Amino acid sequence: MIDFYTWPTPNGWKVAIALEEMGLPYAVHPVDIGTGAQKAPDYLAVNPNGRIPAIVDPEGPDGAPIAVWESGAILQYLARKTGRFGGSTERMRIGVDCWLHWQMGGVGPMAGQAHHFLKYAPDPIPYAQDRYVAETARLYGVLDRQLAGRAFVAGEEYTIADMAIWPWASLWEGQRHDLDATPHMARWLEEVGERPAVRAGRALLAERRRDPTSKPNEHLHPSRR
């Protein structure tokens, strides 16, 4: 049983989706980031960076427990552990790595800043809002071109790269993205969003989510809701 430390946010959803997709048993430990629980000493012993998500696998590679943090590292760890969703060929695995790192270094931080300046900053700063909305839209343009003619981000296989990107991309509306401009991304959002494991991961602790207007089908184009 893997111990899963999380909160219902995009970075937490990535790991929830992966655990569900891989059929790994897990125990959920809610870490309420609204109250600062992620900075408590007992949690810092698991994740020294003081953020969610993190896991502790009692059966690490040498049989001893191991803590894994940073959502991308967790996805890679779980893919290696199970031999699933990491790419079936070396060529596919390299593509998975490219898109996973693209998410970790690009979409996550940029969309995160867009959320911050659009929804949470105490005073509106138009320059910051425009900068992060535009950069997020640019990244979604890259994603859209990649998905034109491919079922999934790294090719014809659904992988941890899709699991990493989908949670952030699913919140496109709150990032003021024009989904009509990226139809391939819209198609992929819908198809991935229909997977039972994605629905289950997305629903984990949903009742605790900070934004009460957040809906399970918010990834869809409004005409499809």
Binding site for ligand GSH (CB under 6 A): 9-11, 33, 38, 50-53, 70-71, 108
**Do β-strands 66-69 and 54-57 pair in parallel, antiparallel, or remain unpaired?**
antiparallel
- Tallying the residues shown for the chain, one arrives at 225
CA-nearest of 172, 98, 161, 189 to 137 is 172
Q: How far is the CB of 49 from ligand GSH (least distance, A)?
A: 7
Cβ-proximal residue to ligand GSH, closest one: 51
Q: How far is the CB of 54 from ligand GSH (least distance, A)?
A: 8
Closest to ligand GSH by CB, 33 vs 133, is 33
Q: How far is the CB of 42 from ligand GSH (least distance, A)?
A: 15
CA-nearest of 51, 71, 61, 65 to 11 is 71
**Look-up: residue for tokens 């070396």?**
90
Q: How far apart are CA 180 and CA 168, in angstroms?
A: 17
Q: How far apart are CA 14 and CA 18, in angstroms?
A: 6
Instruction: Look at the alpha carbons of 47, 158, 17, 59 in this order and tell me if their dihedral is positive or negative.
Output: negative
Closest to ligand GSH by CB, 10 vs 193, is 10
Q: How far is the CB of 74 from ligand GSH (least distance, A)?
A: 7
Output DSSP code: residue 156: S
Closest to ligand GSH by CB, 112 vs 155, is 112
Closest to ligand GSH by CB, 11 vs 146, is 11
Closest to ligand GSH by CB, 66 vs 151, is 66
Q: Answer whether 7's CB lies under 8 Å from 30's CB.
A: yes
Q: How far is the CB of 7 from ligand GSH (least distance, A)?
A: 6
Closest to ligand GSH by CB, 50 vs 141, is 50
Q: Answer whether 70's CB lies under 8 Å from 109's CB.
A: no
Q: How far is the CB of 187 from ligand GSH (least distance, A)?
A: 26
